[in-house]
Chain A
Amino acid sequence: QVHLVESGGGVVQPGRSLRLSCAASGFTFRNYAMHWVRQAPGEGLEWVADISFDGGNKFYADSVKGRFTISRDNSKNTLHLEMNSLTVEDTAIYYCSKGHGVAVAHLDFWGQGTLVTVSS
């Protein structure tokens, strides 16, 4: 069965960087687009970024464009999110999700999330 496990979250000061990872199993990772979605405490869902099956296409939310970079390693079945210049507004649970392509909202499996807290 599909299994997505995020890691790399923690407490970080404003302006610093953090790298999240998502280990995937139970499906052919290299065949599917992947997404990051975040949820601030007590708030709704906010899509962050996605990457095509081969890494050739990437899209970002305006709120993270230029600061976050999504990438993947198909040889290791792993998705990454490099987050730079973090602000308190980036505090959230970050979920990775398996998608049926980029530019779609068809996210059929989600990990349990990793909490990122940006605080001085």
Chain B
Amino acid sequence: QSVLTQPPSVSAAQRQKVTISCSGSRSNIGSNFVSWFQQFPGTAPKLLIYDSDKRSSGIPDRFSGSKSGTSATLGITGLQTGDEAKYFCAAWDSSLNVVVFGGGTELTVL
């Protein structure tokens, strides 16, 4: 059971937009920045978004992040088949004193 809650899977058609939610609490998302990671099978995670809404170097502007209260959202526009991957959110938890991750969301591009 992950501290941050993500939907197990989402899907959308090519060239469409999808959002992935990440729900937490006051001690993590509510008081700290959120990061988003992309992971393809058999490879290491890659940072997409940090500080809740800043794109990491080299990440196209099709990817965006936002945060409101104790929830965060990753948005991906202009979906491509190459975006099919697992996406994880993460934040520092000030009560647990650990980095907490969401369980991950599998994106399928139809």
Contacts and interface: CB of A to CB of B under 8 A. Distances in A.
Chain A at the B interface: SS class = strand
B35 A106 contact: yes
Interface of B: 2, 32-35, 37, 39, 43-47, 50-51, 56-57, 88, 90-92, 94, 96-104
B47 A47 contact: no
Contacts, number: 71
A47 B99 contact: yes
A35 B97 CA distance: 14
B51 to A, nearest CB: 7
A46 B47 contact: no
Given A44-B2, A45-B37, A45-B104, A105 B99 contact: yes
Contact of A45 (B32, B50, B51, B88): B88
Contacts of A29: none
Contacts of A105: 32-35, 50, 90-92, 99
Chain A's interface size range is 20 to 34
A44 B102 contact: yes
B90 A113 contact: no
6 contacts: A44-B102, A44-B104, A45-B88, A95-B44, A106-B50, A112-B44
Nearest to A102: B92
B97 A103 contact: yes
B50 A110 contact: no
Given A44-B104, A47-B98, A60-B98, 7 more contacts: A45-B37, A61-B98, A62-B96, A62-B98, A103-B94, A104-B92, A105-B99
Residue with the highest number of chain A CB atoms closer than 10 Å, among B2, B32, B44, B50: B44
A100 B88 CA distance: 18
A37 B46 CA distance: 13
B44 A45 contact: no
B99 A50 contact: yes
Given A62-B98, A105-B33, A45 B92 contact: no
Contacts of A100: 50
Contacts of B97: 59, 103
